[in-house]
Amino acid sequence: MSTSDGRIIGTTQILNNGSDINRFNMALLAEGYQAGQMAQFATDANNFVRRLSQTPPFHLAMNAINVFRVDVTSTDSGADDPVACGGTGRTARTYFDATFCGDGVNQRLCNVNAATAFAVANAQVPRHRLIVVIVNSAIFGGAGGSVAVYSLQGNAVETAIHEIGHTAFALADEYETLRGCASGETDHNNDPAVKEPSQVNITITGTNNRSTLKWGRYVLPSTPLPTTKNANCAVCDPQASPVATGVVGAFEGANTYHCKAFRSEFDCKMRTLGTVFCRVCQDAILRKLFPYSPLTFRFAWKGVGGDQGLYNGRGNDSDQRNISGSGSSTGPALATFVQTFMAWKGIFNDQGIYYSRQRHIDGVTWDTQQRVPGVGTSTGPALAVFQGKLYMAWKGIAGDQGIWFSSLDITFSWAPQRPVPGVGTSTRPALAAFQNRLYMVWKGIEGDQSIWFSSYDGANWAPQAPVPNVGTSASPSLAVLGNRLYMVWKGIEGDQSVWFTSFDGFTWAPQSPVPNVGTSTGVSLCAGPDRLFMVWSGIAGDPSLYYTAFDGSFWGPQHNYLDTGSSSVPAVLVTF
């Protein structure tokens, strides 16, 4: 049972986000697959990628990752299954020598020869950052360490994702026992708590105070600290969480100890396989992954309530910066036209439309704002690049529900405004270039919550038509993914849920809800190379900004853009 029990067939890239020099490269190695089972391994490897991409926060950073499938055959399928752990006693001649019962006690511990795994990965995927071995067995098993291992039974893949938390992102275990809470263990009552852990997701200090707590920026002032204390350190803390799922605080019991070590949320994938990574772990993962990503996604928004300041930040950094000298009562629109380009309505009763460019190398500094001559809006503009020009469309000033448009050429001269004939809206339209036409969607005029669309060929607008069976009280948004035009929108009056549909050039698909999100203002959409990014402010009473991604079939869970907020629709721009 060794490398003589199989051979390396070759390596295939199954997720390609550009040069492997700059990406976070994963090597997936086949173990216990016979030569005739390589197609099955290909399927299993694709399933792993899909599962990972649907595990938050990876859905926001998959563009940072390349995945390589290394086809390795074995003489036999499966893995050793020793009798000592209740197994069948079967031995399998496999390349990486996988065996259940890796400690002689627990069948579920499935080990491989890590030295062989490294030798193969170093040769086949020299720029690997992570090695995952997929064991072709229906017995549940997995293992961690420097190589993540999982079998094909049920949720065993979650063991690999937990181990990735350790191996690739230096996350600590958040569970509060070594041998099990019912084991009667007495040597894991109190963490020795000698020195603060270097891992970001556990702590032994500062748990009484947000200002000293390692992850204090995530803790709401209303959350008690510590959030839980274990009343009896001889056992695991039996109490249920006193706060809602996802609330960040300081919960006693972590790092395999009942007491004196704290975790940031009641539960986390670093504590329980069947849950999501906690917010602190999610951001640690994103901080590590984003530097590998070719994508930059920027947000821009007006402040909360009476704050009409304009802010922008890079989603990759979760920061916000005020754009000095500019303001808006409704929020901006973003596009890439030579540089990053932003347009917005002025503050209060100023219905002028302004624009600026962000062309400084620092990616932060914006040009002094310019006013678009001779135009006005009461709601704000929309932007899209079409036929080499930047097009802008907007509802007219107060009392004018007509929709107007103009374009900016490469010399940065605005064309005279023109009306889109025969249409009207009470909110802000949306634009996107699709199939060599400029598409526009908009909510109807006052009292009409239906959504309408038209398209422009560079000379004429097609007659308006309704998007069937949808409605909104706000502004819809558009972006193109693959060969479809996607639209997202807030529901009608009283409905704060978010809906989406897509258009193939002829027919709109039936609307579907974006799960588990809500907004009182509306949503914005922008396309990356293989997924859409959406940003919005929360439901009534929650001005926080949230974002997520959609890969064409799956909407990932929302991610709060920390320490920001808006009382209007934020804008999102993805560049790559």
Partner 1 sequence: MGNTPQYPSSPTQNEPRAIRLTFSYVGSQIELTDTQRLAMFVPPSDSLEAARDQSGFWVEVRDADEQLLFRQVMHHPIETTREVFPADPHGEIIRTPVADPRGVFSIVIPDLTKARILALVGSPSEADRRSEAAREMARFDLTRITGGDYDK
Instruction: For the CB of residue 162, give the shortest distance to partner 1 in the complex, in Å.
Output: 7
465-466 β-sheet, strand order: 430-434, 437-443, 451-456, 465-466
Q: Which helix (H) or strand (E) covers residue 157, if one does?
A: helix 157-167
339-345 β-sheet, strand order: 332-337, 339-345, 353-358, 370-371
Rounded CA-CA distance 27/23 in Å is: 12
Three-state secondary structure string covering 210-251: CCCCCCHHHCCCCCCCCCECCCCCCCCCCCCCCCCCCCCCCE
DSSP H stretches of helix in 1-62: 38-53
Q: Would you tell me how many other CB atoms lie within 10 Å of the CB of residue 75?
A: 16
251-254 β-sheet, strand order: 202-203, 257-263, 251-254
- Are residues 547 and 531 in contact, defined by beta-carbon separation less than 8 angstroms? no
- Are residues 310 and 358 in contact, defined by beta-carbon separation less than 8 angstroms? no
Instruction: For the CB of residue 294, give the shortest distance to partner 1 in the complex, in Å.
Output: 11
Tell me the CA end-to-end span of the chain in Å, nearest whole number.
46
Nearer to partner 1, 16 or 436 (CB): 16
- Are residues 535 and 552 in contact, defined by beta-carbon separation less than 8 angstroms? no
Instruction: For the CB of residue 239, give the shortest distance to partner 1 in the complex, in Å.
Output: 16
Rounded CA-CA distance 416/477 in Å is: 25
Instruction: For the CB of residue 177, give the shortest distance to partner 1 in the complex, in Å.
Output: 7
Nearer to partner 1, 76 or 174 (CB): 174
Nearer to partner 1, 260 or 279 (CB): 260
- Are residues 358 and 340 in contact, defined by beta-carbon separation less than 8 angstroms? yes
Torsion sign across C-alpha atoms 91, 97, 100, 102: positive
Provide Rg for the chain, Cα atoms: 27
Instruction: For the CB of residue 117, give the shortest distance to partner 1 in the complex, in Å.
Output: 8
Nearer to partner 1, 39 or 459 (CB): 39
Instruction: For the CB of residue 115, give the shortest distance to partner 1 in the complex, in Å.
Output: 5
Nearer to partner 1, 206 or 513 (CB): 206
Indicate the SS3 state at residue 150: strand
Nearer to partner 1, 193 or 225 (CB): 193
Nearer to partner 1, 108 or 345 (CB): 108
Instruction: For the CB of residue 129, give the shortest distance to partner 1 in the complex, in Å.
Output: 7
Nearer to partner 1, 146 or 436 (CB): 146
Nearer to partner 1, 274 or 494 (CB): 274
Rounded CA-CA distance 418/399 in Å is: 17
Instruction: For the CB of residue 563, give the shortest distance to partner 1 in the complex, in Å.
Output: 20
The residue behind tokens 């400690």 is 103
**Does 242 sit behind a cis peptide bond, omega within 30 degrees of 0 on the bond before it?**
no
Instruction: For the CB of residue 498, give the shortest distance to partner 1 in the complex, in Å.
Output: 29
Residues with Cβ within 8 Å of 549's Cβ and at least 6 positions away in sequence, in order, are 59, 60, 62, 528, 531, 532, 533, 534, 555, 556
- Are residues 404 and 418 in contact, defined by beta-carbon separation less than 8 angstroms? yes
Nearer to partner 1, 13 or 435 (CB): 13
Nearer to partner 1, 95 or 391 (CB): 95
Nearer to partner 1, 185 or 367 (CB): 185
Instruction: Please enumerate, as own/partner, the contacts of 311-316 that have beta carbons within 8 Å and a separation of 24 or more.
Output: 311/564, 311/566, 312/342, 312/358, 312/366, 313/561, 313/564, 314/363, 315/60, 315/533, 315/547, 315/561, 315/572, 316/286, 316/290
Rounded CA-CA distance 484/470 in Å is: 18
